[in-house]
Structure 1
Amino acid sequence: MRRSMLMTAALMAMIAVAPARADDISDAIGEAQRAYQGGQFQAAQTALQEALQLLQQRGAANLAAALPDALPGWTAEEATSNAAGAAGLFGGSMASRTYRNAQDQTVEIQVMSDNPMIAQLAAVLANPMLAGAMGRLVRVGELRAIQANDGNVSMLVDNRILVQVQGDAPADAKLAYARAINVARLAGR
Protein backbone atom coordinates (compact mmCIF):
# COMPACT_ATOMS: atom_id res chain seq x y z
CA MET A 1 0.00 0.00 0.00
CA ARG A 2 2.75 2.44 0.98
CA ARG A 3 4.73 1.61 -2.15
CA SER A 4 1.63 2.17 -4.26
CA MET A 5 1.08 5.57 -2.66
CA LEU A 6 4.72 6.55 -3.21
CA MET A 7 4.56 5.44 -6.83
CA THR A 8 1.39 7.47 -7.38
CA ALA A 9 2.94 10.55 -5.73
CA ALA A 10 6.08 10.24 -7.86
CA LEU A 11 4.02 9.82 -11.00
CA MET A 12 1.86 12.85 -10.21
CA ALA A 13 4.91 14.99 -9.46
CA MET A 14 6.48 14.02 -12.77
CA ILE A 15 3.27 14.73 -14.67
CA ALA A 16 3.15 18.19 -13.11
CA VAL A 17 6.63 19.01 -14.47
CA ALA A 18 6.14 17.40 -17.84
CA PRO A 19 5.84 19.78 -20.79
CA ALA A 20 2.54 19.91 -22.65
CA ARG A 21 4.01 18.78 -25.98
CA ALA A 22 4.79 15.14 -26.66
CA ASP A 23 8.42 14.17 -26.22
CA ASP A 24 10.49 11.32 -24.81
CA ILE A 25 9.93 12.46 -21.23
CA SER A 26 6.17 12.73 -21.46
CA ASP A 27 6.07 9.45 -23.40
CA ALA A 28 7.92 7.69 -20.56
CA ILE A 29 5.58 9.27 -18.00
CA GLY A 30 2.56 8.16 -20.01
CA GLU A 31 4.01 4.65 -20.25
CA ALA A 32 4.51 4.62 -16.48
CA GLN A 33 0.96 5.76 -15.88
CA ARG A 34 -0.49 3.10 -18.19
CA ALA A 35 1.65 0.40 -16.58
CA TYR A 36 0.66 1.56 -13.09
CA GLN A 37 -3.03 1.61 -13.95
CA GLY A 38 -2.64 -1.88 -15.42
CA GLY A 39 -1.11 -3.18 -12.22
CA GLN A 40 2.36 -3.63 -13.79
CA PHE A 41 4.32 -2.00 -10.99
CA GLN A 42 7.79 -3.06 -12.13
CA ALA A 43 7.14 -1.71 -15.63
CA ALA A 44 5.78 1.51 -14.11
CA GLN A 45 8.89 1.86 -11.96
CA THR A 46 11.18 1.27 -14.94
CA ALA A 47 9.33 3.86 -17.03
CA LEU A 48 9.52 6.39 -14.17
CA GLN A 49 13.25 5.79 -13.85
CA GLU A 50 13.60 6.34 -17.59
CA ALA A 51 11.66 9.61 -17.32
CA LEU A 52 13.88 10.74 -14.43
CA GLN A 53 17.02 9.92 -16.43
CA LEU A 54 15.69 11.84 -19.43
CA LEU A 55 14.88 14.83 -17.18
CA GLN A 56 18.43 14.72 -15.80
CA GLN A 57 19.84 14.61 -19.32
CA ARG A 58 17.76 17.63 -20.27
CA GLY A 59 18.99 19.39 -17.12
CA ALA A 60 22.60 18.59 -18.03
CA ALA A 61 22.06 19.98 -21.52
CA ASN A 62 20.67 23.17 -19.96
CA LEU A 63 23.80 23.45 -17.82
CA ALA A 64 25.94 23.16 -20.95
CA ALA A 65 23.86 25.83 -22.70
CA ALA A 66 24.72 28.29 -19.90
CA LEU A 67 28.45 28.01 -20.58
CA PRO A 68 29.80 31.03 -22.44
CA ASP A 69 31.11 31.26 -25.96
CA ALA A 70 34.84 31.88 -26.33
CA LEU A 71 35.97 35.30 -25.20
CA PRO A 72 37.98 37.42 -27.68
CA GLY A 73 41.36 35.78 -28.38
CA TRP A 74 40.16 32.36 -27.25
CA THR A 75 38.65 29.30 -28.93
CA ALA A 76 36.16 26.93 -27.33
CA GLU A 77 35.68 23.20 -27.57
CA GLU A 78 32.18 21.78 -27.71
CA ALA A 79 30.46 21.73 -24.33
CA THR A 80 29.89 18.27 -22.91
CA SER A 81 27.23 17.16 -20.46
CA ASN A 82 26.41 14.06 -18.44
CA ALA A 83 23.57 13.07 -16.15
CA ALA A 84 23.11 10.79 -13.14
CA GLY A 85 25.76 8.11 -12.65
CA ALA A 86 27.90 9.45 -15.47
CA ALA A 87 28.26 12.77 -13.66
CA GLY A 88 29.87 11.14 -10.68
CA LEU A 89 29.39 8.62 -7.95
CA PHE A 90 26.71 10.68 -6.25
CA GLY A 91 24.49 11.46 -9.23
CA GLY A 92 23.27 14.80 -10.46
CA SER A 93 24.12 16.52 -13.70
CA MET A 94 27.39 17.91 -15.00
CA ALA A 95 28.55 20.02 -17.94
CA SER A 96 31.98 21.30 -18.92
CA ARG A 97 33.71 23.27 -21.63
CA THR A 98 37.37 23.99 -22.31
CA TYR A 99 38.74 27.21 -23.79
CA ARG A 100 42.22 27.79 -25.25
CA ASN A 101 44.14 30.93 -26.19
CA ALA A 102 47.01 31.50 -28.69
CA GLN A 103 49.59 30.79 -25.94
CA ASP A 104 47.98 27.35 -25.50
CA GLN A 105 46.72 28.29 -22.04
CA THR A 106 43.43 26.74 -21.00
CA VAL A 107 40.40 27.56 -18.93
CA GLU A 108 37.92 24.81 -18.11
CA ILE A 109 34.50 25.49 -16.69
CA GLN A 110 32.80 22.63 -14.86
CA VAL A 111 29.23 22.92 -13.63
CA MET A 112 27.64 20.29 -11.39
CA SER A 113 24.10 20.33 -10.04
CA ASP A 114 21.95 18.39 -7.63
CA ASN A 115 24.80 16.33 -6.23
CA PRO A 116 24.83 15.63 -2.47
CA MET A 117 28.48 16.71 -2.29
CA ILE A 118 27.40 20.24 -3.22
CA ALA A 119 25.39 20.58 -0.01
CA GLN A 120 28.54 19.99 2.02
CA LEU A 121 30.45 22.64 0.09
CA ALA A 122 27.51 25.04 0.24
CA ALA A 123 27.98 25.49 3.99
CA VAL A 124 31.57 26.62 3.41
CA LEU A 125 30.74 28.93 0.50
CA ALA A 126 27.81 30.48 2.39
CA ASN A 127 30.04 31.52 5.29
CA PRO A 128 32.31 34.45 4.31
CA MET A 129 34.79 33.64 7.10
CA LEU A 130 35.23 30.03 5.97
CA ALA A 131 35.16 30.97 2.29
CA GLY A 132 37.80 33.65 2.87
CA ALA A 133 40.10 31.02 4.37
CA MET A 134 39.95 29.14 1.06
CA GLY A 135 41.03 32.11 -1.05
CA ARG A 136 40.14 35.64 -2.03
CA LEU A 137 36.44 36.52 -2.04
CA VAL A 138 35.34 38.01 -5.37
CA ARG A 139 31.97 38.99 -6.80
CA VAL A 140 30.64 37.38 -9.93
CA GLY A 141 27.57 39.43 -10.63
CA GLU A 142 25.48 39.09 -7.50
CA LEU A 143 27.24 35.91 -6.39
CA ARG A 144 30.05 35.51 -3.91
CA ALA A 145 32.86 33.42 -5.33
CA ILE A 146 36.22 32.23 -4.09
CA GLN A 147 39.34 32.75 -6.15
CA ALA A 148 42.09 30.49 -4.85
CA ASN A 149 45.79 31.34 -4.92
CA ASP A 150 46.13 29.50 -8.25
CA GLY A 151 43.39 31.72 -9.73
CA ASN A 152 40.76 28.99 -9.86
CA VAL A 153 37.25 30.27 -9.16
CA SER A 154 34.49 28.39 -7.30
CA MET A 155 30.96 29.62 -6.77
CA LEU A 156 27.56 28.29 -5.84
CA VAL A 157 24.46 29.17 -7.87
CA ASP A 158 21.00 28.77 -6.37
CA ASN A 159 22.49 26.71 -3.49
CA ARG A 160 22.52 23.61 -5.73
CA ILE A 161 24.84 24.31 -8.66
CA LEU A 162 28.60 24.29 -8.18
CA VAL A 163 30.65 26.19 -10.77
CA GLN A 164 34.40 25.68 -10.95
CA VAL A 165 36.62 27.61 -13.35
CA GLN A 166 40.15 26.24 -13.50
CA GLY A 167 43.10 25.77 -15.82
CA ASP A 168 46.60 27.08 -16.42
CA ALA A 169 45.54 30.48 -17.76
CA PRO A 170 46.10 33.64 -15.69
CA ALA A 171 43.74 34.38 -12.80
CA ASP A 172 42.13 37.33 -14.60
CA ALA A 173 41.16 35.08 -17.54
CA LYS A 174 39.54 32.58 -15.18
CA LEU A 175 37.60 35.35 -13.47
CA ALA A 176 36.51 36.77 -16.85
CA TYR A 177 35.13 33.37 -17.82
CA ALA A 178 33.35 33.02 -14.48
CA ARG A 179 31.69 36.37 -15.12
CA ALA A 180 30.70 35.32 -18.66
CA ILE A 181 28.62 32.33 -17.49
CA ASN A 182 24.89 32.79 -17.92
CA VAL A 183 24.07 32.44 -14.21
CA ALA A 184 20.38 33.20 -14.72
CA ARG A 185 20.10 30.29 -17.14
CA LEU A 186 21.92 28.02 -14.71
CA ALA A 187 19.40 28.89 -12.02
CA GLY A 188 16.53 28.26 -14.41
CA ARG A 189 15.34 31.85 -14.54
Structure 2
Amino acid sequence: MHRSILFAAALAAGLSTAAVRADEVSDAITEAQRAYQGGRIQAAQTALQEALQLLQQRAAAGLAAALPDALPGWTAEEASSATAGLAGMFGGSTASRTYRNAQGQSVEIQVMSDNPMIAQLAAVMANPMLAGAMGRLVRVGEQRAIQGNDGNIQMLVDNRILVQVQGDAPAEAKLAYARAINLARLAGR
Protein backbone atom coordinates (compact mmCIF):
# COMPACT_ATOMS: atom_id res chain seq x y z
CA MET A 1 0.00 0.00 0.00
CA HIS A 2 2.87 2.34 0.90
CA ARG A 3 4.36 1.68 -2.55
CA SER A 4 1.08 2.73 -4.16
CA ILE A 5 1.20 6.06 -2.35
CA LEU A 6 4.84 6.61 -3.34
CA PHE A 7 4.03 5.67 -6.92
CA ALA A 8 1.13 8.12 -6.93
CA ALA A 9 3.38 10.91 -5.70
CA ALA A 10 6.03 10.09 -8.30
CA LEU A 11 3.40 9.85 -11.02
CA ALA A 12 1.87 13.17 -10.01
CA ALA A 13 5.30 14.84 -9.93
CA GLY A 14 6.17 13.42 -13.35
CA LEU A 15 2.92 14.55 -14.87
CA SER A 16 3.19 18.01 -13.39
CA THR A 17 6.46 18.55 -15.27
CA ALA A 18 5.05 17.17 -18.51
CA ALA A 19 2.84 18.97 -20.95
CA VAL A 20 -0.19 17.14 -19.54
CA ARG A 21 -2.61 19.62 -18.00
CA ALA A 22 -6.13 19.33 -16.59
CA ASP A 23 -7.08 16.11 -18.31
CA GLU A 24 -8.60 12.85 -17.20
CA VAL A 25 -5.23 11.43 -16.05
CA SER A 26 -4.55 14.47 -13.89
CA ASP A 27 -8.13 14.36 -12.62
CA ALA A 28 -7.75 10.72 -11.55
CA ILE A 29 -4.47 11.48 -9.76
CA THR A 30 -6.04 14.47 -8.00
CA GLU A 31 -8.98 12.29 -7.00
CA ALA A 32 -6.55 9.67 -5.60
CA GLN A 33 -4.69 12.30 -3.63
CA ARG A 34 -7.90 13.70 -2.14
CA ALA A 35 -9.14 10.22 -1.26
CA TYR A 36 -5.82 9.36 0.40
CA GLN A 37 -5.78 12.60 2.38
CA GLY A 38 -9.35 11.85 3.47
CA GLY A 39 -8.34 8.39 4.70
CA ARG A 40 -10.26 6.57 1.95
CA ILE A 41 -7.49 4.15 0.97
CA GLN A 42 -9.60 1.91 -1.28
CA ALA A 43 -10.89 4.93 -3.22
CA ALA A 44 -7.32 6.20 -3.58
CA GLN A 45 -6.18 2.85 -4.97
CA THR A 46 -9.08 2.74 -7.42
CA ALA A 47 -8.34 6.27 -8.66
CA LEU A 48 -4.64 5.40 -9.09
CA GLN A 49 -5.55 2.28 -11.04
CA GLU A 50 -7.79 4.41 -13.24
CA ALA A 51 -4.91 6.84 -13.87
CA LEU A 52 -2.62 3.96 -14.82
CA GLN A 53 -5.22 2.51 -17.20
CA LEU A 54 -5.68 5.92 -18.84
CA LEU A 55 -1.91 6.22 -19.28
CA GLN A 56 -1.81 2.76 -20.87
CA GLN A 57 -4.56 3.81 -23.26
CA ARG A 58 -2.49 6.83 -24.28
CA ALA A 59 0.54 4.58 -24.75
CA ALA A 60 -1.48 2.25 -26.99
CA ALA A 61 -2.73 5.18 -29.06
CA GLY A 62 0.89 6.32 -29.42
CA LEU A 63 1.83 2.89 -30.74
CA ALA A 64 -0.97 3.04 -33.31
CA ALA A 65 0.10 6.52 -34.42
CA ALA A 66 3.56 5.15 -35.32
CA LEU A 67 2.11 2.68 -37.81
CA PRO A 68 2.57 3.78 -41.43
CA ASP A 69 -0.01 4.77 -43.98
CA ALA A 70 -0.55 2.40 -46.89
CA LEU A 71 2.35 2.20 -49.32
CA PRO A 72 1.64 2.84 -53.03
CA GLY A 73 -0.58 0.09 -54.45
CA TRP A 74 -1.85 -0.92 -51.03
CA THR A 75 -4.83 -0.04 -48.84
CA ALA A 76 -4.84 0.09 -45.06
CA GLU A 77 -7.43 -0.78 -42.49
CA GLU A 78 -7.88 1.52 -39.53
CA ALA A 79 -5.19 1.01 -36.89
CA SER A 80 -6.43 -0.57 -33.67
CA SER A 81 -4.96 -0.37 -30.20
CA ALA A 82 -5.65 -1.99 -26.86
CA THR A 83 -4.32 -2.25 -23.35
CA ALA A 84 -4.21 -5.12 -20.92
CA GLY A 85 -4.53 -4.40 -17.23
CA LEU A 86 -1.48 -4.57 -14.98
CA ALA A 87 -2.70 -7.88 -13.62
CA GLY A 88 -3.40 -9.24 -17.09
CA MET A 89 -1.44 -12.23 -18.28
CA PHE A 90 0.52 -10.27 -20.85
CA GLY A 91 -0.05 -6.66 -19.78
CA GLY A 92 1.17 -3.64 -21.68
CA SER A 93 -0.15 -1.96 -24.78
CA THR A 94 -0.66 -3.22 -28.31
CA ALA A 95 -1.48 -1.77 -31.70
CA SER A 96 -1.95 -3.33 -35.11
CA ARG A 97 -2.82 -2.45 -38.66
CA THR A 98 -3.45 -4.59 -41.74
CA TYR A 99 -2.56 -3.63 -45.31
CA ARG A 100 -3.79 -5.27 -48.55
CA ASN A 101 -2.76 -5.04 -52.17
CA ALA A 102 -4.76 -5.60 -55.38
CA GLN A 103 -3.65 -9.26 -55.51
CA GLY A 104 -5.28 -9.87 -52.13
CA GLN A 105 -1.98 -10.23 -50.30
CA SER A 106 -1.73 -8.79 -46.83
CA VAL A 107 0.82 -7.43 -44.39
CA GLU A 108 -0.03 -6.99 -40.73
CA ILE A 109 2.06 -4.91 -38.36
CA GLN A 110 1.68 -5.67 -34.67
CA VAL A 111 3.39 -3.58 -31.99
CA MET A 112 3.48 -4.58 -28.33
CA SER A 113 5.08 -2.63 -25.49
CA ASP A 114 5.87 -3.07 -21.83
CA ASN A 115 4.97 -6.73 -21.74
CA PRO A 116 6.83 -9.30 -19.60
CA MET A 117 7.08 -11.61 -22.61
CA ILE A 118 9.17 -8.98 -24.42
CA ALA A 119 11.84 -9.06 -21.73
CA GLN A 120 12.37 -12.76 -22.38
CA LEU A 121 12.64 -12.23 -26.13
CA ALA A 122 14.95 -9.24 -25.66
CA ALA A 123 17.72 -11.45 -24.31
CA VAL A 124 17.63 -13.52 -27.50
CA MET A 125 17.34 -10.59 -29.87
CA ALA A 126 20.16 -8.65 -28.18
CA ASN A 127 22.60 -11.44 -29.01
CA PRO A 128 23.40 -11.38 -32.76
CA MET A 129 24.42 -15.06 -32.73
CA LEU A 130 21.11 -16.18 -31.21
CA ALA A 131 19.11 -13.72 -33.30
CA GLY A 132 20.83 -14.95 -36.46
CA ALA A 133 19.70 -18.48 -35.65
CA MET A 134 16.09 -17.23 -35.82
CA GLY A 135 16.48 -15.89 -39.36
CA ARG A 136 18.36 -13.44 -41.50
CA LEU A 137 19.53 -10.25 -39.78
CA VAL A 138 18.35 -7.10 -41.60
CA ARG A 139 18.56 -3.40 -40.78
CA VAL A 140 15.44 -1.33 -40.40
CA GLY A 141 16.77 2.17 -40.00
CA GLU A 142 19.19 1.90 -37.11
CA GLN A 143 17.41 -1.16 -35.70
CA ARG A 144 18.55 -4.73 -36.09
CA ALA A 145 15.67 -6.97 -37.12
CA ILE A 146 15.22 -10.64 -37.85
CA GLN A 147 13.56 -11.73 -41.08
CA GLY A 148 12.51 -15.37 -41.02
CA ASN A 149 12.39 -17.75 -43.96
CA ASP A 150 8.72 -16.83 -44.39
CA GLY A 151 9.67 -13.15 -44.74
CA ASN A 152 8.11 -12.21 -41.41
CA ILE A 153 10.07 -9.64 -39.44
CA GLN A 154 10.62 -9.16 -35.71
CA MET A 155 12.50 -6.30 -34.11
CA LEU A 156 12.89 -4.84 -30.69
CA VAL A 157 12.73 -1.05 -30.31
CA ASP A 158 14.05 0.64 -27.17
CA ASN A 159 14.38 -2.80 -25.51
CA ARG A 160 10.68 -2.73 -24.63
CA ILE A 161 8.68 -2.55 -27.84
CA LEU A 162 8.28 -5.63 -30.00
CA VAL A 163 7.42 -5.02 -33.66
CA GLN A 164 6.20 -7.91 -35.79
CA VAL A 165 5.52 -7.61 -39.51
CA GLN A 166 3.82 -10.67 -40.98
CA GLY A 167 1.39 -11.81 -43.61
CA ASP A 168 1.23 -13.62 -46.93
CA ALA A 169 2.78 -10.83 -49.02
CA PRO A 170 6.33 -11.21 -50.39
CA ALA A 171 9.28 -10.68 -48.03
CA GLU A 172 10.18 -7.42 -49.83
CA ALA A 173 6.76 -5.95 -49.03
CA LYS A 174 7.09 -6.88 -45.37
CA LEU A 175 10.54 -5.26 -45.22
CA ALA A 176 9.20 -2.13 -46.93
CA TYR A 177 6.44 -1.86 -44.33
CA ALA A 178 8.90 -2.44 -41.48
CA ARG A 179 11.01 0.42 -42.85
CA ALA A 180 7.93 2.67 -43.08
CA ILE A 181 7.18 2.44 -39.34
CA ASN A 182 7.97 5.61 -37.44
CA LEU A 183 10.56 4.04 -35.12
CA ALA A 184 11.55 7.38 -33.60
CA ARG A 185 7.95 7.93 -32.53
CA LEU A 186 7.83 4.44 -31.00
CA ALA A 187 11.03 4.97 -29.03
CA GLY A 188 10.10 8.48 -27.91
CA ARG A 189 6.62 7.77 -26.63
TM bin (shorter chain): over 0.9
The Cα shift of 1:62 comes to 0.1
The residue that corresponds to 1:26 in the other structure is 26
Q: Which residue type is aligned with residue 83 of structure 2?
A: A
Residue 13 of structure 1 deviates from its aligned partner by 1.6
Quick one: distance in 2 between partners of 1:58 and 1:16? 18
Q: In the TM superposition, what is the alpha-carbon distance from 1:36 to its structure 2 partner?
A: 0.4
Match of 1:147 in 2: 147
Corresponding residue of 2:4: 7
CA positional deviation for 1:20: 4.0
Residues 97-136 of structure 1: pairs in structure 2 closer than 5 A: 97-136=97-136
2: CA distance between counterparts of 1:7 and 1:150?
A: 45
CA distance in 2, matches of 1:107, 1:129: 27
Tell me the equivalent position of 1:17.
14
Amino acid at match of 2:14: V
**SS of 1:71 mapped into structure 2:** coil
Tell me if structure 1 keeps the 8 A contact 2:99–2:107.
yes
SS, match of residue 120 in structure 1: helix
Residues 133 and 25 (structure 1 numbering): CA distance in 2 closer, same or farther, change over 3 Å?
same
State the Cα deviation string for residues 24-79 of structure 1 (Å, max 9, x = none): 10000000000001000000000000000000000000000000000000000000
TM-score normalised over the length of structure 2? 0.95
Distance 2:13 2:69 in 1: 33
Instruction: Tell me how far apart the structure 2 counterparts of residues 185 and 115 of structure 1 sit (CA, whole Å).
Output: 18
Q: CA RMSD in A?
A: 1.3
**Separation in structure 1 between the aligned mates of residue 105 and residue 42 of structure 2, nearest angstrom:** 51
Verify the 8 A CA contact 2:53 2:85 in the aligned structure 1.
no
| Partners of 1:20 and 1:152 in 2: CA distance | 38
Identity over aligned pairs, percent = 80
Number of equivalent positions: 185
Q: Tell me the SS of whatever aligns to 2:112.
A: strand
Aligned-pair CA distance for 1:188: 1.3
Q: Which runs of 4+ in 1 moved over 6 A?
A: none
2:178 partner amino acid: A
CA offset at residue 7 of structure 1?
A: 2.7
CA distance in 2, matches of 1:101, 1:20: 40
For the Cα contact (< 8 Å) 2:107–2:168, is it kept in 1?
Answer: yes
TM-score, normalization: structure 1?
0.95
1:185 and 2:179 matched = no
Which SS does the other structure have where 1:117 is aligned?
Answer: helix
Preserved contact between residue 114 and residue 160 of structure 2 (Cα < 8 Å): yes
State the Cα distance separating 1:85 from its structure 2 match: 3.9
For structure 2, list consecutive stretches of 5 or more residues without a partner in the other structure. none
Aligned equivalent of 1:37:
37
State the alpha-carbon separation in 2 of the partners of residues 130 and 16 from structure 1: 41
